[in-house]
C-alpha cells in the first residue's frame, strides 16, 4: 500500500498529514507504522502524524492526532492550525472552519497574511505546585517560570519533571517560561515526542494563561500576549472573566513544506 502525505510545520513544530476521508488508513495504520513514518532517519520525519477524517453535517472534518511514538494523543494547537491549511488545499474552502478534535469542537480562520487563528477550549482550572502551575489547554501542561530561559537545559529538566512519580504513567508536557519586555519566551518538553520541540501550541496557550494568572489570580478583560518559541512567534488572545479564560485563540503560522508518497508494508 502506498500512502500520500503532506508535511506542514507551525513555528518549527512539524507534522505528516494524510487525507483519510475515504477511511482507508484509520483501521490500517499501526502504532509501529506511525512511529516509522515520523522517524527522522528512517521515515519522513515529524513531531506527529495527523489524519483528516470525515466530519458530519456540523463539522467540516475530524482531526486525529498521533505523537511521534505512534500513540494517539490529546489536542495539538500547532497541528490544529496546520490541518486547517491542509484542509483548504484538499478542497475544503470555508470562511470559518469547524472541526472536531479529541478535546471537542474547534473553529479556525485563515487570516490574510496566511497565519491561522485557532479557537481553543476554555480554561477554568489552574493548579499550583509551589510556584509552578498545572493547567489543561486541550493537553496537560506543567509551567515553570524562570528568570533566564537560556540557562535551562529543557530536555534534561523537562524529562525529570515528566518522569517524576505524579506524571510518570500518563505524562505531562513541561514548559519553561521567561517573561521579558517583549512578552514571553518558552521552551517545551513534549510527552510522546519525549524531547524538546521547537514549538508547542497548547504549551504556548498555557504559558500565556499562566502568566496572566501569575500576575493576578482573578481579573477581567480581553488579553493579547505574544509568545516566542524556539521555532517562531505566536500570539494568544482571549477574554478573562474572573478565573475563567474564554474565547481563546492561538494565532501563528501554518506552512506547507513538501508532499510525497510512502510505501506502507502489507499486514
**Model pLDDT, residue 57:** 84
Query: Which residue range is the domain that position 219 belongs to?
Result: 126-252
Is residue 38 annotated as a catalytic residue, yes or no? no
Residue 96 and residue 191 in one domain: no
Name the stretches of the chain with pLDDT < 70: 266-267
**Model pLDDT, residue 195:** 97
Residue 217 and residue 259 in one domain: no
SS3 string, the chain, reads CEEEEEEEEECCEEEEEEECCCCCCCCCCCHHHHHHHHCCCCCCCCCEEEEEEECCCCCCEEEEEEECCCCECCCCHHHHHHHHHHHHHCCCCCCCEEEEECCEEEEEEECCCCCEEEECCCECCEEEECCEEEEECCCEEEEEECCCHHHCCHHHHHHHHHCCCCCCCCCCEEEEEEEECCEEEEEEEECCCCEEECCCHHHHHHHHHHHHHHHCCCEEEEEEEEEEECCEEEEEEEEEEECEEEEEEEEECCEEEEEEEEECCCC
Q: Say how many domains are in the chain.
A: 2
Of 18, 38, 82, 200, the active-site residue reads: 200
Residue 93 and residue 22 in one domain: yes
Is residue 76 annotated as a catalytic residue, yes or no? yes
**Model pLDDT, residue 26:** 87
Is the entire prediction scored with pTM above 0.85? yes
Residue 149 and residue 173 in one domain: yes
Residue 218 and residue 186 in one domain: yes
Q: How confident is the prediction for the chain on average, in pLDDT? A: 96
Residue 193 and residue 244 in one domain: yes
**Model pLDDT, residue 264:** 81
In a domain, 121, yes or no: no
**pLDDT per position as a tens digit, 173-192:** 999 999 999 999 999 999 99
Of 18, 38, 76, 82, the active-site residue reads: 76
Residue 33 and residue 142 in one domain: no
**Model pLDDT, residue 56:** 84
Amino acid at each position: 500500500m502506498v500512502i500520500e502525505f503532506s508535511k506542514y510545520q507551525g513555528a518549527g513544530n512539524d507534522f505528516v498529514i494524510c487525507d483519510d476521508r475515504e477511511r482507508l488508513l484509520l483501521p490500517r495504520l499501526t502504532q509501529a507504522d506511525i512511529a516509522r513514518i515520523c522517524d527522522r532517519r528512517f521515515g519522513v520525519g515529524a513531531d506527529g502524524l495527523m489524519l483528516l477524517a470525515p466530519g458530519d453535517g456540523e463539522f467540516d472534518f475530524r482531526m486525529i492526532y498521533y505523537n511521534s511514538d505512534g500513540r494517539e494523543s490529546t489536542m495539538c494547537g500547532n497541528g490544529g492550525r496546520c490541518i486547517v491549511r491542509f484542509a483548504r488545499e484538499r478542497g475544503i474552502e470555508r470562511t470559518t472552519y469547524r472541526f472536531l478534535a479529541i478535546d471537542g469542537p474547534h473553529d479556525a480562520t485563515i487570516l490574510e497574511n496566511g497565519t491561522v487563528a485557532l479557537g481553543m477550549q476554555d480554561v477554568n482550572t489552574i493548579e499550583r505546585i509551589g510556584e509552578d502551575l498545572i493547567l489543561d489547554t486541550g493537553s496537560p501542561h506543567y509551567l515553570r517560570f524562570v528568570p533566564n530561559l537560556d540557562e535551562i537545559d529543557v530536555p534534561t529538566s523537562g524529562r525529570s519533571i515528566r518522569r517524576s512519580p505524579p506524571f510518570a504513567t500518563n505524562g505531562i508536557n513541561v514548559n519553561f517560561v521567561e517573561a521579558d519586555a517583549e512578552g514571553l519566551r518558552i521552551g517545551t518538553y513534549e510527552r510522546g515526542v519525549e524531547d524538546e520541540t521547537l514549538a508547542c501550541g497548547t504549551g504556548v496557550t498555557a504559558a500565556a494563561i499562566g502568566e496572566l494568572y501569575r500576575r493576578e489570580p482573578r481579573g477581567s478583560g480581553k488579553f493579547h500576549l505574544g509568545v516566542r518559541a524556539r521555532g517562531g512567534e505566536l500570539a494568544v488572545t482571549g477574554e478573562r472573566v474572573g478565573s475563567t479564560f474564554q474565547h481563546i485563540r492561538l494565532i501563528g503560522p501554518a506552512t506547507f513544506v513538501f508532499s510525497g508518497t510512502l510505501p506502507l508494508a502489507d499486514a
